[in-house]
Structure 1
């Protein structure tokens, strides 16, 4: 066993954590009776931290690990990691891109279809015996709609291709146009929302996208508009979204992410025009296995002095 100590910030997918702990000396921060004492005990030896996209690691914690050289993230989003501090310290950061792209894009489409066709409501309609008393009210259709995507990275592009197969028209927002992209580019999220029937957030989290889907954007989307979020809770003005969904100024929403997970506003839970998921974008066994493989490969590469497999630039 490699005795180089590794600090694990949060639980990982079971097989990944088992593999990590079978190969290295791993210290579980969340189980430590005294986190400060554990960090102090690792200060002279810990060169690797493994964390998750949701947990990340802040500058204050990394400052207590002066020998730290690598933060390996189980997840594609690194907004919870203080990247600026890592740059200043020369700490490498890795993540798990590509392997979860299709899974997250699939869930975005599932949320969109479930919202448009009111699938959760239909399920309850049957289970509660309401069908015996008459037919369910008609729903809307997806075909022919204009879909605006906020963030056209790997996941946003995969969502756009899926939506296009349903006969929709695609527009997108990004800080700058991308060469070779055939879909219409908008330089402003409010402008995109005003054009769109559906707005899908697929951008990274972090300060640059904080509340990028603003109250103004949601109001521009309008009372028949649909908002889908598989990005981060931080990218949308959640309070405004809840208010507008409640007063009919925003039509409906399909949400996989929230501001203060796992705490979801009670108002959302009570709404019939909202479909909710517990941050399950990459939540399948095959995808989590592949994410774990990349984490383990990055840690092994660092240990063996080889180039990192998926280093964040």
Structure 2
């Protein structure tokens, strides 16, 4: 499973529920011979909102939300200490790229090594779940199976790393980090950004159609959080259509869309169809009845959609940079060659260098 395609169902889609799963993720990327791209990039996200950023050009880890500055009240040296962690990860990323190139018998060219690590917290049950994945040039290399606490080698060349990490107890070290350090910081960050992270915002909804013979698209943008679903109904019954992919907007909100082929349905029956939006924690559905007169078809009417999509593309680029960053910062953190620490104290600890 491609690491960039991993989608986590983080919320229980039951209206009125008070329970929610919150997430803290680090995406790190080390790169080699990519012109115009930093050799290392790292971002941290809480509930898919970017809260911190580091790259090898600035060589500083900085907060990306105003409320993240609150951490210095408890830890005055927090940003300096974590900047040093990222500097170490930057060097580790270079080592991991070379190690994997040798393992895969690859020479020269541009390459990326990426990591994703983090934890989920259920604020009702207090359950914690950790995640750790490595990838090389966009393909999974090795990952942690949380249930069995074993390593999964996605390529034959990663099997030696799996054996080394299992022999050196790397999974147990990460579990200790996820259960304690990662969980502690996630709860702390949720407290700092509570007003932002726990808000509920409903979207604007449009109907779009490229031509009279094209499917009708229901487009919803501007909602928060991303624990939401959008689907079509006919006479109040949900149609068996795929839920739309949720994408980020430039302002921290989200958007999604679902399409329906109505080419065989008489226009007079279109009023039997509705687009339904559900947001976790909000009791009432947002139901928009399909009215042919409200469908936007020409260039002018498509403007809001085009602008929104442009914003999404920008956000996706940022997300990809985040993926690159997390894999890079992760390469040095868990090195089975070094002596094992009793506990991983860093907020964003180093993974072992890939052997």
> TM-score range, shorter-chain basis?
under 0.3
Q: TM-score, normalised by structure 2?
A: 0.25
Question: Higher helix proportion, which one?
Answer: 1
Question: Higher strand proportion, which one?
Answer: 2
Q: TM-score, normalised by structure 1?
A: 0.28
